[in-house]
Amino acid sequence: MGKRTQKDIRRSVEALSRVEQAIPDGDAAIHRDAATLSDGQTRPVLVQNPADSGVDAYVSQRIDTDNQITGTVRQNVTVDTAGTAVDKFNTDIQDSQLDSTQVVVEQGGSYSGGDANQLPIQTSGVQGQRSTPFVATAQYVIRPGANLLYDITSQANSNDFVIEFAVAERER
């Protein structure tokens, strides 16, 4: 994995800032996938900004797991078979109506290609023990027509796993 440039850091901060600004206004959506994974089980989770969306998606991501996981994040994969949409809710809890959003987050589909091993993921958890919670965060800007695929593989049985994406969209 290459060294992060100042431009990479600036983009990450910009993405996080856009999400943080959108949350108090209820202009962000939280997409959440939770599962219990078996040892060796892989769960694909795709974040996709459709080509015709007309928006840039500012995404903040968080992973929490009981035990060790490994995996990769690939960008710009081909969707061979669409998965199932994950739970989505508005960040403004009082306003239960979530405006339509362009970004799609799904799990369980079939995907190919893309830039493999773009970002390796690995926790240092001890199998069967949760001494401290593992939380990984990242921020991205996903342009129209782009996507990110998370392939998460459990390294323990009965491994509770949560991945969340806070997404703020901005018209281009």
- 97 in any annotated domain: yes
**How many Å apart are CA 54 and CA 5, to the nearest integer?**
28
Helix, strand, coil share of the chain (percent; to 5): 10, 50, 40
The two three-digit tokens of residue 130, written as one number = 């949760």
pLDDT at 76: 94
Report the run of H or E that residue 19 belongs to, with start and end.
helix 6-22
Write the burial class of residue 82 (CB in 10 Å: 0-12 exposed, 13-18 middle, 19+ buried).
middle
**Position 90 in a domain:** yes
pLDDT tier at 125, thresholds 50, 70, 90? low
User: Residues 115-122: what's their mean pLDDT?
Assistant: 64
Q: What mean pLDDT comes out for the span 63-75?
A: 85
Q: How high is the pLDDT of residue 115? A: 82
pTM for the full predicted model: 0.79
Give the mean model confidence (pLDDT) for residues 14-40: 76
Q: Pairing mode, if any, of strands 147-154 and 69-75?
A: antiparallel
For residue 89, is it within any domain? yes
- Whether residue 110 is contained in a domain is answered as yes
> Percent of the chain at pLDDT above 70?
65
Q: Which residues are registered as beta bridge partners of 162?
A: 34, 64
Q: Which helix (H) or strand (E) holds 7?
A: helix 6-22
Domains held by the chain: number:
1
Strand order in the sheet with 87-90: 87-90, 28-37, 159-171, 55-65, 134-142
User: Does a structural domain hold residue 1?
Assistant: no
Residue with token string 């493999």? 116
Residue 44 included in any domain: yes
57 is in which domain, residue-wise? 6-171
